[in-house]
């Protein structure tokens, strides 16, 4: 497992700034994953004299320059509030928190970002380490792939005078980790008859199936692609090939946040998935010789009243 980290230092106060510290170079063999940042949000950005109701955004681009799929974790550290040297001369509510970190809201946005934190959130709600229960991740990021990330910030208009002149500083850490591959028992395929492992990539993991050279799956497989959400099943003997009879090497499953609005009178009650088969030429249409199974889980509490039908 390889890790590369880029750190951004933000000062917010009625001003805030960012300084990017590039990763320390590693000599010798190239790492499986490596992180490159670019764009306005990857260099210093300073905003001064913000007031309640103000908002803004900064864009940056992340690129995996390694040779393996990676998972990006967004973490924060070094959170520090600094009170104004001179307290505000205007009246303020003494019961309102003076710390800017308890008021200023942030939201990272990317079409492959997953989080279990209600957004926007204060910086105190963001994960501090990869072991935290709070998570903000972008995955998978394929070798050479570029991902756009926007940081939105907002100081609510309801904030009073208590924060006047105060400052907030913290560090944003972008940590790209090689996505582990979990072997899935492929049955009795032998090295003489099997192709390279067929990879299934999801936002949380990679799984490898052994497939014969002609694209035939050796044994029946039931795979929890996304825990408690999506399960796929393939029957023994199912052959998966492209229109030109090539064998794909990856099935990539992603969660889509940009799904079109549903028709009037309907609501979406579960995640929207995109499933794409890849060859060396990129995503390709495929044919399956037998139907595959897809099990979709959803939360019953998301059902609106007076439901007349469920459909996919």
- Rounded to a whole number of angstroms, the distance between the first and last alpha carbons of the chain is 38
Q: The sheet that has 35-38: what strands, in order across it?
A: 35-38, 55-64, 146-154, 105-109, 121-122
Q: Choose from 44-48, 212-216, 276-280 the range with maximum mean pLDDT.
A: 276-280
Look at residues 56, 77, 60 and name the one whose alpha carbon lies nearest to residue 155: 56
Nearest residue to 130 via CA among 168, 73, 185, 180: 73
> pLDDT of 183-194, one tens digit each?
665 444 444 344
**pLDDT for position 183:** 60
CA distance 145 to 36: 11
User: How many CA atoms lie less than 13 Å away from 262 in the CB half-sphere?
Assistant: 11
Calculate the average pLDDT of the chain.
79
Instruction: Give me the residue spans of the domains in the chain.
Output: 3-178, 181-302
In this predicted structure, the answer to whether residue 121 has a pLDDT above a threshold of 90 is yes
Stretch 223-243: mean pLDDT: 89
Kindly report the number of other CB atoms within 10 A of residue 309's CB atom.
5
| Alpha-carbon gap, residue 108 to 46, rounded angstroms | 18
Q: How confident is the model at residue 15 (pLDDT cuts 50, 70, 90)?
A: very low
Which pLDDT belongs to residue 160? Answer: 79
Provide the pLDDT for residue 217: 85
Give the pLDDT mean for 94-119.
85
What tens digit of pLDDT does each residue of 58-87 get?
899 999 988 888 889 999 988 888 887 776
Alpha carbon separation from 78 to 12, 22, 32, 47, 155 (Å, rounded): 13, 18, 28, 19, 21
Average the pLDDT over each of 85-99, 167-181, 273-287 and give the range with the smallest value.
85-99
Mean pLDDT on 212-238: 87
DSSP tag of 278: E
Residue 91 — very low, low, confident or very high, per pLDDT cuts 50/70/90? low
């Amino acid at each position: 497992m390889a890790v590369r980290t880029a750190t951004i230092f933000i000062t917010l106060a009625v001003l805030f700034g960012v300084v990017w510290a590039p990763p320390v170079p590693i000599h010798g063999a190239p790492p499986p994953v490596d992180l490159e940042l670019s764009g306005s949000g990857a260099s210093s950005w300073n905003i001064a004299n913000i007031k309640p109701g103000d908002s803004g955004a900064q864009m940056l681009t992340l690129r995996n320059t390694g040779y393996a799929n990676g998972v990006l974790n967004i973490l924060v550290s070094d959170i520090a509030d600094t009170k104004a040297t001179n307290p505000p001369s205007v009246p303020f509510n003494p019961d309102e928190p003076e710390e800017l970190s308890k008021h200023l809201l942030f939201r990272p946005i990317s079409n492959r970002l997953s989080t279990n934190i209600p957004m926007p959130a204060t910086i105190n709600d963001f994960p501090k380490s990869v072991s935290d229960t709070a998570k903000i991740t972008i995955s998978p990021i394929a070798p050479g792939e570029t991902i756009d990330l926007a940081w939105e910030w907002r100081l609510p208009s309801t904030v009073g005078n208590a924060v006047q002149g105060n400052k907030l500083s913290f560090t944003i850490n972008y940590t790209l980790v090689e996505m582990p591959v979990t072997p899935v028992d492929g049955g009795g395929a032998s090295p003489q008859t099997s192709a390279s492992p067929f990879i299934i990539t999801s936002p949380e993991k990679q799984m490898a199936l052994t497939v014969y050279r002609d694209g035939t799956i050796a044994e029946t497989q039931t795979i929890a692609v996304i825990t408690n959400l999506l399960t796929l099943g393939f029957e023994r003997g199912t052959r998966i090939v492209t229109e030109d009879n090539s064998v794909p090497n990856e099935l990539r499953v992603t969660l889509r946040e940009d799904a079109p609005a549903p028709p009037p009178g309907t609501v979406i009650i579960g995640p929207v998935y995109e499933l794409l088969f890849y060859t060396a030429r990129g995503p390709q249409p495929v044919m399956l010789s037998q139907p595959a199974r897809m099990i979709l889980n959803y939360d019953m509490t998301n059902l609106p009243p007076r439901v007349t039908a469920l459909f996919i």
